[in-house]
Amino acid sequence: MAKVVGMALGKDYATQECSIARALEVVGERWTLLVIRDALYGVRRYNDFLVHLGIPRAVLAARLQALTAEGILEKRRYQESPPREEYVPTDRALALWPTLRSLGRWGREQFDEPQLRYFRHADCGTELGLYGECPRCALVVPVPDVLVDPGPGLDPNPADPISRALLKPRRLLQPFESEPAAGQ
């Protein structure tokens, strides 16, 4: 009967012969897809992920490391002194956009929530279809050409700076200005 060698628990969906299961081993853990979503929104720095997600620091560090190891984010030093790091989404992350788009639409449509954000084709303003295509232009919109347009359902005065920056229309991947701790 040759028992499978006990590989304990972990991220593995042991016996599955299925690329969905393989994908979930990589991005299926708690928080992971939200980290990737934020990376596509333009979040790049540890502290910005932290405040925008409300994720425990240790978990964030673990996820960033795992995503870097999987080639989904790239860790870069953006200044030497003091040493500062950023995490930039790779093509692997961009390739997840259709999945994230369709998942978000599923959530809103099936549980009829208020429209929080419109995703539009920046060239023509048309709202994207189910998987991120532009129905008017009949093409899959490249991620940098997706416009994130705030909808009526959003809190007009959020606590963290990332959410505040997301109250203005902006493109995916466009990095955030790290506000120089000014005013108030």
Partner DNA sequence: ACTCAAGGTTCAATGAACGAACCCACAGTG
Partner DNA sequence: CACTGTGGGTTCGTTCATTGAACCTTGAGT
To DNA, the closest distance from the beta carbon of 60 in angstroms equals 8
Quote the CA–CA distance of 128 and 42 in Å, as a whole number: 19
Kindly tell me which residue out of 52, 72, 86, 129 binds DNA, with binding defined by CB under 7 A: 86
Quote the CA–CA distance of 140 and 159 in Å, as a whole number: 34
Kindly tell me which residue out of 21, 24, 26, 47 binds DNA, with binding defined by CB under 7 A: 47
Sole window of 7-15, 124-132, 138-146, 148-156 interacting with DNA (rule: CB under 7 A): 7-15
Quote the CA–CA distance of 45 and 50 in Å, as a whole number: 9
Quote the CA–CA distance of 68 and 148 in Å, as a whole number: 25
Contact assessment for residue 171 and residue 141, using Cβ atoms and an 8 Å cutoff: no
Residues that bind its own copies (CB under 8 A): 13-24, 26, 28-31, 33-34, 37, 53-54, 71, 92, 95-96, 98-100, 102-111, 113, 116-117, 130-131, 140, 153-155, 158, 163
Quote the CA–CA distance of 110 and 103 in Å, as a whole number: 11
Work out whether 183 is an interface residue with DNA (CB under 7 A): no
Site string (58-77) toward DNA, x via CB under 7 A: xx-xx-x----------x--
Contact assessment for residue 77 and residue 68, using Cβ atoms and an 8 Å cutoff: no
- Rounded to 10 deg, the angle between the 57-69 and 32-41 helix axes is 80
Site string (153-182) toward DNA, x via CB under 7 A: -------------------------x--x-
Contact assessment for residue 116 and residue 154, using Cβ atoms and an 8 Å cutoff: yes
Judged by beta carbon distances under 5 to 8 A according to partner kind, the member of DNA, its own copies, none in contact with residue 102 is its own copies
Binding interface with DNA (CB under 7 A):
6, 8-11, 29-31, 45-48, 54-59, 61-62, 64, 75, 81-86, 178, 181
